[in-house]
Amino acid sequence: MLKIENLHASVDGKKILKGIDLTIKSGEVHAIMGPNGSGKSTLSNVIAGRDGYEVTEGSILFHGQDLLAMEPEERAWAGVFLAFQYPVEIPGVNNVYLLKAGLNARRKHLGLAELDAMEFMQLVREKARLVELDQAFLSRGVNEGFSGGEKKRNEIFQMAVLEPNLAILDETDSGLDIDALRVVANGVNALRSADRSIVMVTHYQRLLDYIEPDVVHVLAEGKVLKSGDKSLALELEKRGYDWVREEAANA
Amino acid sequence: MPDIASLRKQAWQAFEETGLPTTRQEEWKYTSLARLGSVLGEAWWTRAEPASLKAADIDALAIPNLDAWRIVFADGRLVESVTSLPEGASLSPLSELLAGNGQQAATALQWQADAPLFNGAVAANSALAEDGLCLCLADGVVLNKPIYMLHIASQPGASHLRHGLWLGRQAEAHVIEHYAGAGEEAGLTHAVTLVHLGEGAQLRHDRLQDESLKQFHLGRLAVTQGRDSSLTSHAVALGASLARTDIAVDLSEPGAACTLNGLYMPTGRQHSDQHTQIDHRAPHCCSREHYRGVLDGRAHGVFNGKVVVHEGASGTDSAQSNANLLLSDKAEIDAKPELVIHHDDVKAAHGCTVGQLDDKQLFYLKTRGMSEEEARQVLTFAFADSVLTGIRQPALRRFIEKRAFSKLPIDMDAEALVG
């Protein structure tokens, strides 16, 4: 589904990603772990297409298409979704309006009929239950006055409505208490399917107790230093990241 | 008993002495009225010949589905009024009062040479106004529907309007002033509204200036507030080639409160100036002001919000904000919050921003599948709409939204957006 090769990227002239290689197959859940400043968020943003990230080398193919040549909204239509680390507040634009516009644009792209207001509201209510989001939030401004946990739940709720093929969860677990984490994890697990891949970017092994990954990668200094199964995450939890760095340096 | 004729004469003399304000005056630094004379002619004040409007012409310009008492002025003259107000409410056309030469007409025509934001043009209005609406509410009278004043300018020449609203103790009213235009030729609308709020009176005042792009518009709302009275105003400026709106609020007795909301959206080559002044003269008065501008093309906008806290106005609580969105790099805004404080023990805050759309918000919307264009439209709409949320009548709010966004390349379901 996603094939990243030798990806180099800079922000403000500073090299952050220095040759990322990553292949994600349909239906897989990958965790990308790494210390602060390792380039995790940069990778998420480059995949989603944020301005200000300059790709200097390498490629990202999504279902064989050149993702880097596409606008952020075209990536969304193609099925890429980013759950933001810091979701922005957009007062005055209500959640339902945003999702309806987004979903119908995607359906149009896929050659499907747009949902009418009734079908759409039915879908939205069902998905809101999935992440235990109060119905009252639906008609509020996007993230307007939401708590940190509500914002993160709203991200997963949006993902549930938009049903992407590739979802990148950028530190969705950070700042969540254990109850909120459980709700978010249940939501994500309910969305696992054979035609959907999920990439979790995280600091903490704790998230992986709730969402079991197929593959774990260690990202440090702009490169994937090591990949393994979920036992790698447990090892990182116990031993930290330095041994991975040393191992890579000695290799 | 004042003699209206001599009062008018005095006003005219004052105008001849003072003349129109010029850009040499601080309050008029950014707005030149020189074009009044060059476009409308030397005698720019010459009254327009009122058009004879058909019912269909009026309905085409009126706010649809608004449950209100409707009063219509054409080119400065009353053409349609209402007769059935509740007991204790009286509504008189200024033209009738002038003929009767009474106290009320004289009060309506006081030209306030010592008032804030006074200028020579107001004196001209006092001398020349032929018509307007004088609404008096006796103590405790509550109007359960808005008074909707529709002003249609369609002829060349000047329309001088003078309105007076007097609300007695605990009286309540909602007045909508709508200025619309259908004219092909340039003209001047000059409308002055004087308001007095008695103790505990409540006024909602919504002003929509949506005249033709050829028109000149000078508007003024001057309010004196008594003890514990409350004013909520929305001033929306969309039309005219050159428009200036002055709002002056005098919080003259303890416990009075006002909220001034404003939206201006000049595009193309429009010039749109909003000046407000709030005078805190008594203790424990509260003022809130929230103005937003959306500017496109080569438009020029001006916002000047002055708050004066006078000596003795202890416990003053004042907050002001002004935000501007520039959609074009050729659009220009002169924004100036002014806080003048002559008393300690006051709470006063103000803030002013000028900027473009927020990149983070744009990116967020796009990652959810909105096109760049739609995301820009949605954010522009949301920015401007935030000052309209206090409008109580959905029909009025939707109408303003529709008119405002017809000026921008925006084609969206506003109702769904604000839900």
pLDDT, tens digit (0-9, with 9 covering 90-100), for B59-71: 999 999 999 999 9
Give B204-247 pLDDT, tens digit per residue: 999 999 999 999 999 999 999 999 999 999 999 999 999 999 99
| CB contact at 8 A, B240 and B211 | yes
Q: A2 vs B105, which has greater pLDDT?
A: A2
Pairing relation of β-strands A223-228 and B89-93? Answer: unpaired
- Position B112 scores a pLDDT of 62
Beta bridge partners of A4: A22, A60
Identify the band that residue B383 occupies on the pLDDT scale cut at 50, 70 and 90. very high
Q: Which residues in chain A are contacts of B418 at CB distance < 8 A?
A: 92, 94
Q: Do A97 and B378 touch (CB under 8 A)?
A: yes
Q: Structure tokens of B292?
A: 């937003």
Residue B296 has pLDDT above 60, yes or no: yes
**Position B15, amino acid:** F
Cβ pair B382:A99 closer than 8 A: no
Q: What is the pLDDT averaged over residues B322-326?
A: 97
- In this prediction, residue B114 carries a pLDDT of 59
CB-based contact (8 Å) between B366 and chain A? yes
Confidence band of B116 (pLDDT split at 50, 70, 90): low
Quickly tell me which residue has 């959609």 as its tokens: B327
User: Which residues does chain B have within 8 Å of residue A101's beta carbon, measured at their own beta carbons?
Assistant: 368-370, 374, 378
Judged by CB atoms closer than 8 Å, whether chains meet at A48 and B417 is answered as no
- The closest CB to that of A77, out of B358, B363, B369, belongs to B369
Q: What is the mean pLDDT of residues B29-54?
A: 91
Smallest Cβ–Cβ distance between A139 and the set B364, B367, B419 belongs to B419
Q: Write down the pLDDT at residue A137.
A: 87
Q: Is the pLDDT of residue B118 over 60?
A: yes
* Banded pLDDT at B340 (limits 50, 70, 90): very high
> Model confidence at B418, in pLDDT bands (50, 70, 90)?
low
The whole-chain average pLDDT of chain B stands at 92
State the pLDDT at residue B411.
60
Residue B314 class from Cβ within 10 Å (0-12 exposed, 13-18 middle, 19+ buried)?
middle
Is the ipTM higher than 0.90? The answer is yes
Tell me: the pLDDT tens digits for B130-153? 999 999 999 999 999 999 999 999
B contact test, residue of A50, A67, A93 with most B CBs within 10 A: A93
Hunting for tokens 């106290």 — which residue is that? B103
- What was the pLDDT predicted at B322? 97
Distance between A142 CA and the closest CA of chain B, angstroms: 10
Specify the pLDDT at position B98: 85
Question: What's the pTM value of the predicted model, to 2 decimals?
Answer: 0.88
Domains of chain A from N-terminus onward: 2-250 (3.40.50.300)
Quote the CA–CA distance of A227 and A218 in Å, as a whole number. Answer: 6
Under the banding of pLDDT at 50, 70 and 90, the label for residue B416 is low
Q: Is residue A175 over pLDDT 90?
A: no
Output the pLDDT for position B419: 45
B382 neighbourhood in chain A, CB within 8 Å: 90-93, 141
Residue partners of A156: CB distance under 8 A and separation at least 6: A83, A131, A169, A172, A184, A187, A188
Reported confidence tier of residue A36, pLDDT bands at 50, 70, 90 = confident
pLDDT-derived band at B105 (thresholds 50, 70, 90) equals confident
N-term to C-term CA, chain B: 55
Amino acid symbol at B130 = E
What's the average model confidence in pLDDT over A188-194? 94
**pLDDT score recorded for residue A203:** 84
End-to-end CA distance of chain A: 29
* Residue A110: per-residue pLDDT: 93
Q: Which of A46, A47, A89, A90 to mutate to test the interface with B (most CBs of B within 10 A)?
A: A90
Return d(Cα B87, Cα B246) in angstroms, integer: 33
- The whole-number average pLDDT for the span A224-240 is 92
Residue B306 makes CB contacts below 8 A (sequence gap 6+) with B116, B275, B276, B277, B278, B338, B339, B340
Q: How confident is the model at residue B102 (pLDDT cuts 50, 70, 90)?
A: confident
So what's the pLDDT on residue B167?
A: 97
Quick: pLDDT tens for A64-82: 999 999 999 999 999 999 9
Interatomic CA distance for residues A185 and B221, integer angstroms: 57
- Whether the pLDDT of residue B331 is over 70: the answer is yes
Burial code of B152-178, b = ≥16 C-beta within 10 A, e = fewer?
A: bbbbbbbbbbbbbbbbbbbbbbbbbbb
Mean pLDDT of B300-308: 97
The contacts of residue B117 (CB under 8 Å, 6+ apart) are: B27, B220, B222, B246, B248, B275, B277
Q: What's the confidence (pLDDT) of residue B183? A: 80
CA pair distance B352, B82, nearest whole angstrom:
42
As a whole-number percent, the residues of chain A with pLDDT over 70 amount to 100
Taking contacts as CB-CB distances below 8 angstroms, the residues of chain B near A102 are: 368-370
Reported confidence tier of residue A251, pLDDT bands at 50, 70, 90: confident
Please state, for a pLDDT cut of 70, what percent of chain B lies above it.
95
Whether the per-residue pLDDT at A162 is higher than 70: the answer is: yes
Instruction: Report d(CA A188, CA B118) in Å as an integer.
Output: 64
pLDDT at site B110 = 73
Answer yes or no: do A94 and B417 touch at CB < 8 A: yes
- Residue B414: pLDDT above 60? no
pLDDT in tens, A92-125: 898 999 999 999 999 999 999 999 989 999 999 9
Higher-scoring residue by pLDDT: B181, B104: B181
Q: Within an 8 Å CB–CB cutoff, is residue B361 touching chain A?
A: yes
- CB-CB under 8 Å, B359 with A51: yes
Residues B66-86 have a mean pLDDT of 92
- What's the gap between Cα A132 and its chain centre? 20
Q: Could you give the percent of chain B with pLDDT greater than 90?
A: 76
